[in-house]
Amino acid sequence: MFQFDQAIDRPLLMYLIERIEQAGGRVSAVVSDMGPKNRGLWRDLHIGPTSTSFANPSDSSRQVWVFADIPHLLKLLRNHILDDCMRLRDGTVITKETFKTIMDLDVHQDYKMLPKLGYSTHLDVTGQARQKVRPAAQLLSGSFGHVMELLRPEWVEERKFIHLSNDSFDVCNATCPTDKKPLSRGLGRDVRHLELLGRFEDEISAARFGRRRDVLPFQLGYQVSLRSVRGLLDDVKRDLGPGTYLLTARLNQDPLESFFSLVRGKGGASLNHSPTEAKCRLKNLTIQFLVRAGINPLSGKSGEVRPFRDDDVETGFVSDRVEEVGVEEDLEELLHEVSQTSASSSGGAVDPVTGVTTGQYAMTHCAGYVAAKVRSVDPSLGTPSTYAGEDVPIQTLYTRLKSYGGLTIPNETWLQKYQKMEQAFSIHHHREPDQLSRRPRVIGEVVNLLEGQRLGLDGRVIKRFTRLRTFIRMGRINRERRLAAIARRNRLKVAQFLR
């Protein structure tokens, strides 16, 4: 267990499976990334597109299904698209320029349709930044596909692939049977799941990257994983009944990586621990989680110690992989989304079909957010998209495309009042150096200004708008300062190099 740098070969893997089975566990799957040593193990096990499992050494009647880490595969897909290019079956080419074109249409404004995306964090990704899964999932997301549908409707195949990639990742990263996304509620609960995975497997298998004519290792990983998950689903349904489903997020390396993070975290600044130190940290963690569950570590009996509350411990077995935004995002999450914003409030590219700008789409989305947060105060401002009719403002099209039924669609009256408050907010801050006042109690000052305009709105609605709008402007200013600081550091590096 403490031979950290030992490569796992076939005999060692079989030995570990047998020990787990002897201890009472049941091994149905193994998962790894697509590193060269792991690919070598796959070859020893004769794993490939036509054979994605091997017999369980403890019970030859059962199969052990082999998986590649799906979040790792998503990062590799993103990397190959940005570094080379991707040619689909029909000859359509997706490149870094494809994504840059869409992001260029959604820049220089406070309100953005893709507020999470940035050039440095999502397109010009290098080094350790490529290890993060979230930016890859955000770039190949349904939201990006929706924006592409509105701003570049002629890019049909590109949009279809992005949606297909996003949907297949949702199916392969299911964490909760009550998730807001129907595709993320567990494999086997929706008849579309297997058909969708089959289409994505066909598309990713036929795709070629750069000048290569052969299949890349990560494509093999997708082929094996997508076929293994179907085989594992058949096994569990045969053993547990036809109503069984798989929470596919448990088929990746998140638990292992979270465990490693906990072990490293117990060492403070020391990351290169010895086997003895690792044992001590494991004992410490075991005691911590036993006490947290109310179990006495000495006797093994529950109820002898007070269970820890959530705020009694600093860490837990929590994954740091992709987290989807809720049906109605909290303010903190929305502030993160707008942290990439810049410049004017209602500009941007124009939807060639509706004539609505990207800024207007994003502003309407924010108006729906405010309406959702103050629904208990004034339910007349908007309606959940599930119950919204066809007579809603055309500016709500983007929100309707994004919604799974829970996002709020603002009505025309509320939109007009929101735009009036937006104008008043902009005028109030217009003369400041970066268009945001630094005076004390600035939010209260704007609230008093808006209340004096007699818009017929509850004060809590006005306060919610003012807080949101102020933080959006702060996000834009902070982004501009970060970019300026990065440019300054780069100039200094160049000057030092030339010396």
pLDDT for residue 329? 42
Least confident of 69-78, 210-219, 280-289, 397-406: 280-289
CA atoms of 293 and 302, how far apart (whole Å): 8
**43 and 6 Cβ atoms separated by less than 8 Å:** no
* Residue that wins the pLDDT comparison between 16 and 106: 16
* Span 445-493, pLDDT tens digits: 999 999 998 899 999 999 999 999 999 998 888 888 888 888 898 889 8
Identify the three-state secondary structure at position 383: strand
Residue partners of 362: CB distance under 8 A and separation at least 6: 109, 111, 112, 113, 115, 348, 398
* Span 294-340, pLDDT tens digits: 777 666 666 655 554 444 433 333 333 333 333 334 444 444 444 44
Confidence of residue 218 (pLDDT cuts 50, 70, 90): very high
CA atoms of 86 and 6, how far apart (whole Å): 36
CB atoms < 10 A from the CB of 336, how many?
Answer: 15
**145 and 164 Cβ atoms separated by less than 8 Å:** no
Amino acid at residue number 486: I
Q: Interior CA angle at 383 toward 379 and 386, to 5°?
A: 145
Scanning the structure block, which residue is given the tokens 């979040």? 71
Q: At 93, which helix (H) or strand (E)?
A: strand 93-94
pTM exceeds 0.95, yes or no: no
Size (the chain), residues: 499
Identify the three-state secondary structure at position 395: helix
491 CB burial (10 A radius; 0-12, 13-18, 19+): exposed
**Contacts by 4-7, CB closer than 8 A, 24 or more apart:** 4/275, 4/278, 7/37, 7/41
Beta strands in 220-319, from DSSP E residues, in sequence order: none
What are the residue boundaries of the structural domains of the chain, listed by start? 70-250, 273-310, 331-482
First to last CA, the chain: 51
CA atoms of 470 and 4, how far apart (whole Å): 50
Task: Please state whether 95 falls in left (phi above 0), alpha (psi between -120 and 50) or beta.
Answer: beta
CA atoms of 242 and 205, how far apart (whole Å): 30
pLDDT for residue 305? 53
pLDDT for residue 304? 56
Q: Give percent above pLDDT 90 in the chain.
A: 53
